[in-house]
Amino acid sequence: PTDPELYVAYFNYYISRATQEQMYVESFLSENYKGQYLQGQNENGDKLYIFSIIEYDEELSAKAFEYIDRGLALNPTRLDMYFGKAQFNFMLEKYTAQLEVLKKTFDLNEKYKNKWLWGRNVSINDVGVSFEMNIHDYISKWLTSGNLEALNCSKELALLFIEKFPNNSVAYNDAAVAFIYLGDLVSAKKYLEAGYKVDKSDMLVLANLAYVCKNLGEIEESRNYYKILEQSSDPTYSNMAKQRLADFE
C-alpha cells in the first residue's frame, strides 16, 4: 500500500476513465479550436466541419487527483508524480492550479537538494531527467497556448525560475518571452540583457535581444547584437543574423 507505482497506476486509470472524446458536426469552426478537422458539405452545398473535442469528467478527474495526492503524501520525493499532476492540470486547462503544483516543486527542490526520484524510485540523474529543463518545458507549453491566464502563469513561474536558478540563461529567456507575449518589450529587454550577461554563448537569448531592440526602435543596438550573432558557429543563427542585417540596409 505504500508503493508509489500503485498510486501512479490509479492516477492514470482515472485519467483514462475521465477522458471522453466528443464528435461534433458544425457549420462553423471556432477560431479557438486548434485540433484537426474534416471539411465537407451538406446536401445544400453549405460547409460542414467535423471535429472532436476532448472533455473530462469532473468526478473521475477528482479521483485521479485524490490518488496522486495520496501517493505523494507517502512518497514526497517522486518528481514524476508532481509533474504528472501538473500535466493533468494543463490538460484540464487549470493553469493556475498547475502553477501552484510547480511552485511547490521549487520549494521541495531546495529541501531535497535536487535528489529527486523518478518512476520505479530511480534517481532522476540515472534517467537523465533535468528539473530545470522540465520547468522550461512547462513554461513553453503555456507560452504557446495562446491563453492569457497561461501567459501570466508563465511569467510568474519564469521569474521564480530566475530567483532559484540565477545562473541559468534559459530562465531569463523564458521570462523575456513571456513579457514579449504580454506586450511588455521593455521588461523583456531587461531580462534578456541579464540572461546574456549570465551566458554569452546562449545564441537564443542574443537573437531575442536583437529582435526586441529592433522592435523598440533601438536600431543601432539591434544591429550590434546581430553582428555578434553573425559570428555564431551555428549556421541557423549566423544565417538568420546575416538576413536581419541585410534588412537594415
- The band of 208, judged by pLDDT with boundaries at 50, 70 and 90, is very high
Residue 8 CA to residue 234 CA, distance in Å, equals 41
Which of 29-38, 188-197, 231-240 comes out lowest in average pLDDT? 29-38
Which pLDDT value is given to residue 170? 98
Residue 36, pLDDT score: 86
pLDDT tens for 115-129 read: 999 999 999 999 999
pLDDT at res. 27: 87
This prediction's pTM: 0.92
Does residue 34 surpass a pLDDT of 80?
A: no
pLDDT, mean over the chain: 96
pLDDT surpassing 90 at residue 69:
yes
Sorted by sequence, the CB contacts under 8 Å of residue 11 that are 6+ apart come out as 64, 67, 68, 71, 81, 84, 85, 88
Looking at the chain, the whole-number percentage of residues with pLDDT higher than 70 is: 100
Average of per-residue pLDDT across 55-60 = 97
Q: Which residues pair with 22 in a beta bridge?
A: 53
Give residue 29's pLDDT. 84
Residue 51 has pLDDT above 80, yes or no: yes
pLDDT band at 166 (very low <50, low <70, confident <90, very high): very high
